[in-house]
Structures are given as C-alpha cells and as structure tokens.
Amino acid sequence: MEQFRNIGIIGRLGSVQVLETVRRLKRFLLDRHLHVILEETIAEVLPGHGLQTSS
C-alpha cells in the first residue's frame, strides 16, 4: 500500500497545549520528509512556518 505524502493539519486552538502539540506534530512529519499543509487559522499562530496553507 502506498503511503500518504501530503498531510494537512487542522484544529481548534483553545490552549497553549494544543499549539505545542501542533508544533510537535509538524516537526515529526517534516522530519519524515512529508509535505505538511497547515489550515489558515493554525498557520496564523505559527509565524515563520514556511509551509503551504489552505482554507
């Protein structure tokens, strides 16, 4: 079975813990050379992320 290469991160930001989880997930995926796409709301609170965004 072929693996996914494009991964989108979406979520509701309600606490600092959520934001830290998103940061850790983003790093985990990038370390595995996957293409990470951030939902616009998440992207706004991660300045300088340098990733593709989607609405």
Residue boundaries of the structural domains of the chain: 6-54
Q: Which residues pair with 9 in a beta bridge?
A: 38
pTM: 0.82
d(C-alpha 35, C-alpha 44), whole Å: 18
Assess whether pLDDT exceeds 90 at residue 52. yes
- Write out pLDDT tens, residues 3-48: 889 999 988 887 788 889 999 999 999 999 999 999 999 999 888 9
pLDDT class for 53, splitting at 50, 70, 90? very high
Which pLDDT does position 1 carry in this prediction? 52
Cβ atoms 13, 19 nearer than 8 A: yes
Can you give the pLDDT at residue 11? Answer: 81
